Amino acid sequence: MQEEHRQSLKRNYVQLVKETPTDLVVDHLYQNGILTDEMREEILQNSNSYSKTRQLITTLQRRGPRAFECFCTALTDEGKSSLVHLLKESKIKSEVSKDRAMLPIGGDIFVVVNEWRDKVLIHIRKYEKNSAEVYVPTKKGIALDLNQWQLLEMYVNEIEEAISQMIDDVTGVPEMTFHLGRGVYVSVNKTYPTVDVRQRWKIPETNQIVSTKKGISLTYDKWEALKGTFPDVRETVPEIETTTPCILSEDHQNQEGMLMCSNCNPFAEPL
Q: Which domains can be identified in the chain, with CATH numbers?
A: 1-97 (1.10.533.10), 147-219+229-259 (2.30.31.10)
Q: Residue 34: is its pLDDT beyond 60?
A: yes
pTM: 0.66
Can you say whether residue 244 is alpha, beta or left, with left for phi > 0 and alpha for psi between -120 and 50 degrees?
A: beta
Query: Would strands 175-181 and 99-106 be described as parallel, antiparallel, or unpaired?
Result: unpaired
Q: Give the tens place of pLDDT for each residue, 152-198.
A: 999 999 999 999 999 887 777 889 999 999 999 999 998 889 999 99
> Whole-angstrom Cα distance, residue 257 to residue 143?
26
Q: Residue 124: is its pLDDT beyond 50?
A: yes
Q: Give the tens place of pLDDT for each residue, 44-87.
A: 998 888 889 889 998 999 898 899 999 999 999 999 988 888 88
